[in-house]
Amino acid sequence: MKPKHQRLLLGLAALVAVGGASGLALSALRDQAAFFYTPSDLASKAPTVGKAVRLGGMVETGSVKRLPDGVSINFVVTDKGGRVPVRFTGVAPDLFKEGSGVVAEGKFEADGSFTADNLLAKHDERYMPPEIADKMPAPETVTR
């Protein structure tokens, strides 16, 4: 075989390998394309128990309960269409509070609750991505 044909064959093999790897990566990420799920998203599609996901929404006012151990927190993540109870053990971010936005990373339990490993608190209530703005309740305003 001529060197020209060998290079062409090697180039085609590399393209097939890159295409196959891309296809596998896209199929693995197919269900995880959303940055996070909202409680109303979960009402239409039952969550997979034990699968690592992100849950985003607003911390329901009056739902934050700090447990006596000092590091465990129970609260409810809500939006206009649903609510999900969340358990978190660890140090919560300084910006975590009732009525503010939160993204909890963790997994769903068999009873429908969510166990968070990490909390990401939203730092500015004025910005919200347009595709989820209609799913979230209006942020509470503070009058001075």
Binding residues for heme: 123, 127
DSSP state of 38: -
> For residue 86, what are its two tokens?
């969340």
Q: Give the Cα separation of 144 and 140 in Å (integer).
A: 13
Torsion of CA 68, 104, 92, 73, to 10 degrees: -10
84-117: burial string, b at 16+ Cβ within 10 Å, e else: bbbbbeeebeeebeebbbbbbbbbbeeeeebebe
Binding-site positions read 123, 127
